[in-house]
Amino acid sequence: MTAGVPVTDRAAMIANEPLRRHTTLHVGGPADWFLKIGAAQGDEPLRDALRWAASEGVPVTVIGGGSNMLVADGGVAGLVIKVLTPRPMIQIDRTDPAAPIVTGHAGMLISGFAEACGERGLAGLEWAVGLPGTLGGAVANNAGAHGGEMSTSFLDATLIRYDGTPEIVTLGDLAYTYRHSAIKDGTRRGVLTTVRVRLSPGDPAQLRARAGEYHAWRKGAQPQAASAGSLFQNPPGDAAGRLIEACGLKGFTVGQAQVSPVHANFIVNLGKASAADVLAVGDHCRACVRAQFGIELQYEVQRIGRWAAREAEQHDE
């Protein structure tokens, strides 16, 4: 726990907030300090909080929907900022009718953002309808599905650096690769607030139908239980789920964490799983795939927080 009380009078920070309330896996210990921020507050309280953290030497971690994270049972040191804006309010610039530009807040749910674009005849994000998490998380992770991904549509964004100063980041700044960006790996540090994407014109009914197909596929092919999405990246030319299933691990359980019987690359929380349970299941899958196929699976889910020394040692790759 950091000493002292946050100085900002505009930002309502909470001490010792359990992060299991803020992750889709429903796992994770407390954040020393926690601040939820959305479009309604504007960037000032966020900048105040970041300046406070910088002046006190408090580490900062940013989350959105917490849908691609495994948070340690020991919680997260310092300040955790959650960027969430419940309503999908978008602004559209059709100056170039062939390439309309849509502006949204990073804290909007990506699914609602994508749906709102489709309803207004803006094509390019249908793959994201039904995807958990926020627009900011999708930008940071280069989220994608059904052959689409965020880097294809991303134009630019406001990034509030950890010293509280804003900058505009463009496509080239984010060093996008598969499910990866400079923001995710921490080489570009800051909090995304306003995001702009460039889309193309489309027919709302067709876009709705395509998004509906993708969403229905997701519901059938993926478990509906609490998870953090795909635990492992797909190795080149193969699928992590296929390899884990071929090892006979569907249903494999440690404590309350289980390899989903629906999709073997998803680990689900049966109720009260700990982060250690999830990691134990993941590591067992890795060990079996390594032994049977000689393939080293890499975690896609981001591991954050205070892990026990033994766990940290085993997982530094």
Ligand X SMILES: Cc1cc2nc3c(=O)[nH]c(=O)nc-3n(C[C@H](O)[C@H](O)[C@H](O)COP(=O)(O)OP(=O)(O)OC[C@H]3O[C@@H](n4cnc5c(N)ncnc54)[C@H](O)[C@@H]3O)c2cc1C
Q: Is the Cβ–Cβ distance between 231 and 300 less than 8 Å?
A: yes
- Sign (positive/negative) of CA torsion 197, 153, 64, 163? negative
For ligand X, the closer CB: 163 or 203: 163
**Interatomic CA distance for residues 112 and 285, integer angstroms:** 34
**304, containing H or E segment:** strand 302-304
| Residues near ligand X (CB under 6 A) | 24, 62-69, 83, 106, 131-134, 136-138, 140-141, 143-145, 179, 183-184, 191-192, 222, 227-229, 302
CA dihedral 135, 23, 281, 61 (to 10 degrees): 80
Residues with catalytic function: 179, 230, 300
Q: Using alpha carbons, select from 58, 70, 69 the residue that is nearest to residue 34.
A: 58
Q: 């049977």: which residue's tokens?
A: 292
**Interatomic CA distance for residues 193 and 108, integer angstroms:** 10
User: DSSP letters along 190-236, please?
Assistant: EEEEEEEEE-EE--HHHHHHHHHHHHHHHHHHS--SS--SBSBPPPT
**Interatomic CA distance for residues 156 and 108, integer angstroms:** 16
